[in-house]
Amino acid sequence: MIFNNENAKHIRLNKKLSLISVARVTGVSRGTLWHWEKGNIVPVQSKIRQLAKALKVHVSDISDLENEIPKASESIKQYSETWDFFIDANRSSKFDRIDSFIHNINSFKKTLEQVYVIIDAILDSSEFMFYLKDISLKYVVANRLFLSNCSLNPDFNVLGCDDSIFFNLKDTKLNEKEDEEVLLTGKGLRREGFIPGSKGKKWGIIVKKPIFNMSDKIAGVKGAFIDISSRKKTENVRELLERNINFLDVGVSLTDYNKKKVLYVNKAFSELFGIEPDILYSEGSKAFSNIVHHDYIDCIDNINYFPTEDLPYKRIEYRIYKNNKIRWIESIRSYRTLQGRKYIFSMNRDISELKKLQSLKKDISTNSKIINELKNYLAENDSIPKNNIMDLNRILNKLID
């Protein structure tokens, strides 16, 4: 927040206003106003606005604060009796009161009753807490869910109450500050946080908007709290799982079965194939076309390489090009259905070294078989000197070992 002390002083002098007269209207001492103009002290927002009123200028002329939106001369509090007509739980009483005031327009009874039913239905069916305040930030109405959140009876009369009746000190200060900001700027706000009055047990979307009358002047504030605690818990669990999955040395991916669109990959998956996550998300299976060996290109899109509802698991091995080398990849794919949508979950790892070991074992096994056959031949052939046979056996035994 910036206070332009030089502008404030210049305006006061141009208007030929004394320090004392301006200070009196602003509600401060002459000395305090002198220090403001000298730049020794920066006044708080509320005092800057009072000073602007004393100087009869816009607050933006002496600071970076936004100008106040003109307020209505009447308050929506005046409409509370009209509201009572519609939310009164006693139908007969409601219609008696209506009859006493509009006995000459009985033809409109049916219409009024329909309006009552509609409003009452909205109150009962609202899945969010809401309230209305007048320009003095006093409550005019609040719905049943709002009262329930504050552990109050549904017939509690909120008219004329302030936030301290419903919330603790911390929630009261924050809610009043936000509502006051909406009144001053005429702009709504939306944020997420703990719902006031829930004692830190409910997480919600908090929305505040100004109420304008027919003259486009602010007549009050409307607020709503939407409970999204369950969604928040789900998001926290998902975030926790995602953090832990990123620590795995196995490449994990989640793909839309029908669209073949990559929805999620962990860090190990990206590193395994050498493809950035953003490219995988935008290009899907096409991102693999340049790295999968041409002999195994069908494993990218061919449905025969993917699990199905009848065969929910599938293990495949294929080769890829990475850093100008050929690497073997093992992919275990599983089929999953969630809320009617089909997904493929896969776990992938580099098995190149394992493939080399398997090949080496195969070569050793083949060589051992040849050597044993040669030893049998030597043992059965009498034409070869015995000393030579013993030397050859020693050599062959070393080869086998």
The pLDDT, as a whole number, for residue 205 is 92
The predicted-structure confidence for 118-136, as pLDDT tens digits, reads as follows 555 555 555 789 899 999 9
- For 209, the 3-state DSSP assignment is strand
Sort 142 into a burial class: Cβ within 10 Å, 0-12 / 13-18 / 19+.
buried
Name the more confident of 382 and 286: 286
Mean pLDDT, residues 372-391 taken together: 57
CATH topology of domain 76-231: Beta-Lactamase (3.30.450)
pLDDT bracket for residue 189 (50, 70, 90): very high
List of residues 6+ apart from 45 with CB closer than 8 A = 1, 65
The pLDDT, as a whole number, for residue 118 is 57
The pLDDT, as a whole number, for residue 297 is 87
Report domain extents, the chain: 5-61, 76-231, 246-350, 364-400
Residue 70 reports pLDDT greater than 80: no
Asked if the domains 5-61 and 76-231 are classified in one and the same CATH topology, the answer is no
Average pLDDT, the chain: 81
The predicted-structure confidence for 33-43, as pLDDT tens digits, reads as follows 999 999 999 99
The predicted-structure confidence for 280-325, as pLDDT tens digits, reads as follows 888 888 888 889 998 998 888 777 788 887 888 889 999 999 888 9
Q: What is the pTM of this model?
A: 0.46
C-alpha 115/C-alpha 102 separation (Å) is 16
CATH topology of domain 5-61: 434 Repressor (Amino-terminal Domain) (1.10.260)
C-alpha 304/C-alpha 299 separation (Å) is 8
C-alpha 150/C-alpha 290 separation (Å) is 60
The pLDDT, as a whole number, for residue 188 is 93
The predicted-structure confidence for 334-360, as pLDDT tens digits, reads as follows 988 877 788 889 999 999 988 888 877
The pLDDT, as a whole number, for residue 350 is 93
Residue 259 reports pLDDT greater than 70: yes
Mean pLDDT, residues 169-191 taken together: 93
Are the beta carbons of 120 and 87 closer than 8 angstroms? yes
The pLDDT, as a whole number, for residue 245 is 78
Q: Looking at domain 246-350, which CATH architecture does it have?
A: 2-Layer Sandwich (3.30)
The pLDDT, as a whole number, for residue 307 is 83
C-alpha 186/C-alpha 217 separation (Å) is 9
